[in-house]
């Protein structure tokens, strides 16, 4: 669970499950064993959303060219500001159409980039809080 902004063991266990077993039941030292049951299956996202992630990459590249590589990580009040940007692109897509008149990029791709930025910043904060709690 996530409580008080801290990731606990229960959260990790329910998110990823048993990490040290073979999905076909093979023992660890049997030929062909792969201890990956319950592990995060990133191919389900990376390969299933290849077009969308490519467009998000275009947005990230545009932003890096316009500002700096990964400069978004140092923006003050970033979660609030990127949430606002996401909503601005949502509204703009309804008002002006699918393509951002300023950048020529898809509003939906910009919305997705902003949503990912907010999520990443949130997760970074959780990790920092968890590290702080251990000290």
Digit-coded pLDDT (tens) for 98-107: 999 999 999 9
Residue numbers of the domain that contains 7:
1-40
What's the rounded Cα separation, in Å, for the pair 42 and 45?
5
Compute mean pLDDT per 10 residues along the chain, 135 residues long, and list them: 54 56 88 87 94 98 98 98 98 98 98 98 93 81
Digit-coded pLDDT (tens) for 108-127: 999 999 999 999 999 999 99
Note whether 56 and 92 are same-domain residues.
Answer: yes
Note whether 35 and 52 are same-domain residues.
Answer: no
Note whether 75 and 119 are same-domain residues.
Answer: yes
Note whether 58 and 23 are same-domain residues.
Answer: no
Note whether 96 and 125 are same-domain residues.
Answer: yes
| pLDDT value of residue 35 | 86
Cα separations (Å) of 61 from 103, 115, 120, 121?
Answer: 12, 16, 17, 19
């Amino acid at each position: 669970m996530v409580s008080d902004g801290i990731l606990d063991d229960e959260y990790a266990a329910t998110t990823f499950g048993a990490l040290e077993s073979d999905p076909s039941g093979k023992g660890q030292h049997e030929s062909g064993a792969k201890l990956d049951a319950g592990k995060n299956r990133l191919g389900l996202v990376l390969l299933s959303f290849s077009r969308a992630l490519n467009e998000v990459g275009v947005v990230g590249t545009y932003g890096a060219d316009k500002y700096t590589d990964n400069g978004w990580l140092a923006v003050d009040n970033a979660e609030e500001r990127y949430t606002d940007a996401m909503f601005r692109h949502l509204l703009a897509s309804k008002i002006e159409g699918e393509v951002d008149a300023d950048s020529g990029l898809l509003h939906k791709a910009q919305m997705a980039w902003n949503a990912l930025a907010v999520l990443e910043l949130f997760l970074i904060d959780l990790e920092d809080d968890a590290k702080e709690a251990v000290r």
